[in-house]
Structure 1
Amino acid sequence: MPILAALSITLATFAFMEFWAWFMHKYVQHGPLWVLHRSHHIRPSPRPFERNDWFFVIYGALSAVLFITGDNGARWWFWVGVGIAAYGTVYFFVHDVLIHGRLRFWKKSDNAYLRALNMAHKMHHKTQGRDHSVEFGLLWVSPKYLALARQQLRERKTAAANN
């Protein structure tokens, strides 16, 4: 497969996965599969792994099947698998490592975008139940949180300069 086609399929899949993750989170994880996702809303989690981690297993298995049957990149679905795996990797580092601190090697960031993502996710977790939650996406963040994060960073810099 030509490299431009492979790259296009991978990037399109990655972008689609943000919509797909939002849709699945809002309508499936907070719906019929709440039985699995509920463990993610219990804080602090008593175990290193929770039922919600089955979603990683499901998407990882799907990506692996696409790799295995994709003829080492000759078939288009191999590159769909690459896009899913890339999104899953970013999801892991942003959601599990940065936001929830499941691995303690990445501390809070002074990047306005990452702080805004964190704020939006904290708003999502204000609700312990499956109903009345907000902010279901991962990488797309509401402009109001981005503005708030920028304001907080400006205030921190101003306070530091005055001390």
Structure 2
Amino acid sequence: MSFEFLTTFPVWQGLLIALGVVVAMEITAYAVHRWVMHGPLGWGWHASHHEPREGMFERNDLYAVVFAFIATGLFMAGALGPVWLWYVGLGTTMYGVLYFIAHDGLVHQRWPFRIVPKGGYMQRLYQAHRLHHAVDGRDGCVSFGFLYAPPIRKLKADLKSKSHLRVRDPDDVPELQVR
């Protein structure tokens, strides 16, 4: 396939669209994670992510397949119609790659090697997602973003206020180390 269609649109504008879509995808992912995946419609797939995984895949991975189909459709629509849709597909794909690296790799260690961050943003992201999994079930979880992590102290306070739920001790996650 030729990519000549991309020359009909300024690349710098396309890249700005793609970066904007990455930011919009974090907002979208937060909303989908909080109100769909943890809601009655999406918990059927997402519950597998809150249980011990057996094997390489879990039912929750179907969400990645859905977003991959959406991105593919955007690439195709942009190649055949308005070029800016191709860049929306690019931004969606870029977010998917970042999600795979941060969430599946860093946080859930679905790679053949283990990395535990010792400080900074990556440790905060790691701790925030571990605190997300400190609640048994779908209700009462904190930190629904994948690339943005609220302050750890705030998340721990939120969890401690939910004593009526089955919450693992949030103090098992060490404080963020400030260098």
Q: Which has more helix, going by share of residues? A: 1
Matched, 1:149 2:176: yes
Is the 2:133–2:141 Cα contact (8 Å) retained in structure 1? yes
Aligned position for 1:42: 51
Computed over aligned residues only, the root mean square deviation of the Cα atoms, in angstroms, reads 2.1
- After TM superposition, give the deviation of residue 139 of structure 1 in Å: 1.1
- After TM superposition, give the deviation of residue 94 of structure 1 in Å: 0.5
Counterpart AA for 1:15: V
Aligned position for 2:19: 11
4+ runs of 1 displaced by more than 3 Å?
none
User: Partners in 2 of 1:111 and 1:138 — Cα distance?
Assistant: 18
- After TM superposition, give the deviation of residue 74 of structure 1 in Å: 6.1
Calculate the TM-score normalised by the size of structure 1. 0.85
Counterpart AA for 1:25: H
User: Partners in 2 of 1:61 and 1:27 — Cα distance?
Assistant: 21
User: Partners in 2 of 1:7 and 1:149 — Cα distance?
Assistant: 33
- Give the secondary-structure state (helix, strand or coil) at the position aligned to 1:140: coil
User: Partners in 2 of 1:20 and 1:134 — Cα distance?
Assistant: 16
Calculate the TM-score normalised by the size of structure 2. 0.78
User: Partners in 2 of 1:106 and 1:60 — Cα distance?
Assistant: 26
Aligned position for 1:139: 147
- After TM superposition, give the deviation of residue 110 of structure 1 in Å: 2.6
From 22, 34, 42, the counterpart of 1:33: 42
User: Partners in 2 of 1:78 and 1:4 — Cα distance?
Assistant: 13
**Larger relative contact order (CA 8 Å, sep ≥ 6):** 1
Deviation digits for residues 38-83 of structure 1 (CA, Å, limit 9, x no counterpart): 000002x112111100010000111011112211896110000000
Deviation digits for residues 105-161 of structure 1 (CA, Å, limit 9, x no counterpart): 351123411111111001100112111111100111113469x3124xx5xxxxxxx
The percent of aligned pairs where both chains have the same amino acid is 37
Is the 2:127–2:152 Cα contact (8 Å) retained in structure 1? no
User: Partners in 1 of 2:141 and 2:152 — Cα distance?
Assistant: 17
User: Partners in 2 of 1:70 and 1:114 — Cα distance?
Assistant: 34
Say if 1:47 and 1:145 are closer, same or farther in 2 by CA, change over 3 A.
Answer: farther
Say if 1:58 and 1:73 are closer, same or farther in 2 by CA, change over 3 A.
Answer: same
Is the 1:125–1:133 Cα contact (8 Å) retained in structure 2? yes
Is the 1:117–1:145 Cα contact (8 Å) retained in structure 2? no
From 77, 89, 97, the counterpart of 2:105: 97
- Structure 2 segments unaligned to the other structure (5+ residues): 1-8, 155-174
- Give the secondary-structure state (helix, strand or coil) at the position aligned to 1:70: helix
- Give the secondary-structure state (helix, strand or coil) at the position aligned to 1:137: coil
